[in-house]
């Protein structure tokens, strides 16, 4: 595994002008964001050694690296999910590669269902914490890396400093921003009303099928993490509406330009570390 990580990182390094300090992962319908990068390269996942290839509708499967808001970053358009059949190690492989390239920040955006009854479709939510209900942990198995902790502390997965910057930038742009707890489920089936009630009861504000595994590995690699989700549908157990992937992609796409403005401003204001 470590050899594969290094091999992929070396392949990418030879194509980079600068070493990126920021790694970004965007999901369903949020490719608009990475189109703004003035890129050193844009590579389909198939062309990157050891990379799995993305199978989901709305996910382009491209890795781009270059400049955005004056910062060097590397960004994945489209991520891998456990529900596609990938192992937890495959799903989080790109995070390890980006960490090997030297990133300090891991920024993530994805779609999520709203559980907090105050939320509305199209809202943005900064993740302040998560619950891993995927039934697996991506750190299971031999501990990767000489200095990485076997039992990483998880009391502050999402950087409070980055949450503060995100809130400030949202206010500057006049964008309503929520914050809350995200619960990561395996999927791909959506939640029943009973499951939805349970997820709300255990303290989650939003539910989705991504982000959590990558965040755990991000902590393991010592990265500063910020995640913002788009609430694409509302899951209220007593009045469940049907949710379709088309709706999820549609709401994500509509949110794309504003979310891109927000990310660009956040990225431009990240302290150099």
- Pick one of 8, 54, 109, 235: the residue that binds ligand HPA (CB under 6 A): 235
Beta bridge partners of 41: 65
* Closer residue to ligand HPA (CB): 48 or 185: 185
- Residue 130: CB partners within 8 Å, gap ≥ 6? 157, 158, 181, 182, 183, 184, 211, 212, 215
The site that binds ligand HPA (CB under 6 A) totals a number of residues, namely 14
78 binds ligand HPA (CB under 6 A): no
- The number of C-alpha atoms within 13 Å of 141 and in the hemisphere containing its C-beta is 11
Contact window for ligand HPA (CB under 6 A) among 35-43, 55-63, 124-132, 206-214: 206-214
Select the residue whose beta carbon is closest to ligand HPA and give its number: 113
Distances (CA, A) of 254 to 231, 236, 260, 267: 12, 22, 11, 21
* Closer residue to ligand HPA (CB): 99 or 231: 231
- Pick one of 54, 211, 232, 260: the residue that binds ligand HPA (CB under 6 A): 232
Q: Provide φ and ψ at 257, rounded to 5°.
A: -65, -45
Binding residues among 241-270 for ligand HPA as defined by CB under 6 A: 243, 248
Cis peptide before 188 (omega within 30 of 0): yes
- Pick one of 91, 101, 190, 217: the residue that binds ligand HPA (CB under 6 A): 190
Of 14, 75, 9, 10, which is closest to residue 39 (Cα–Cα)?
75
Binding residues for ligand HPA (CB under 6 A): 111-113, 185, 190-191, 207-209, 232-233, 235, 243, 248
């Amino acid at each position: 595994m470590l050899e594969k990580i290094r091999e992929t990182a070396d392949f990418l390094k030879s194509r980079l002008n600068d070493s990126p300090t920021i790694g970004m992962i965007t999901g369903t319908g949020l490719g608009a964001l990475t189109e703004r990068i003035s890129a050193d390269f844009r590579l389909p996942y198939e062309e990157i050694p050891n990379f799995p290839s993305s199978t989901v509708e709305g996910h382009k499967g491209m890795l781009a690296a270059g400049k955005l808001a004056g910062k060097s970053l590397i960004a994945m358009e489209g991520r891998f999910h456990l529900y596609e059949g990938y192992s937890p190690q495959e799903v989080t492989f790109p995070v390890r590669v980006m960490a090997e390239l030297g990133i300090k920040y891991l920024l993530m955006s994805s779609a999520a269902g709203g559980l907090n009854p105050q939320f509305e479709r199209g809202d943005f939510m900064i993740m302040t914490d998560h619950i891993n209900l995927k039934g697996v942990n991506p750190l299971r198995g031999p501990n990767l890396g000489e200095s990485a902790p076997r039992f990483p502390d998880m009391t502050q997965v999402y950087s409070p400093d980055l949450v503060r910057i995100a809130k400030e930038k949202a206010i500057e742009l006049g964008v309503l921003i929520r914050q809350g707890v995200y619960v990561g489920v395996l999927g791909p089936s959506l939640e029943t009303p009973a499951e939805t009630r349970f997820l709300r009861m255990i303290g989650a504000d939003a539910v989705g099928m991504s982000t959590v595994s990558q965040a755990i590995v991000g902590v393991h690699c010592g990265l500063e993490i910020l995640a913002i989700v788009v609430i694409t549908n509302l899951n209220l157990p007593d009045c469940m509406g049907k949710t379709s992937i088309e709706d999820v992609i549609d709401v994500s796409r509509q949110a794309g330009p504003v979310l891109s403005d927000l990310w660009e401003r956040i990225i431009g204001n990240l302290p150099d570390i």
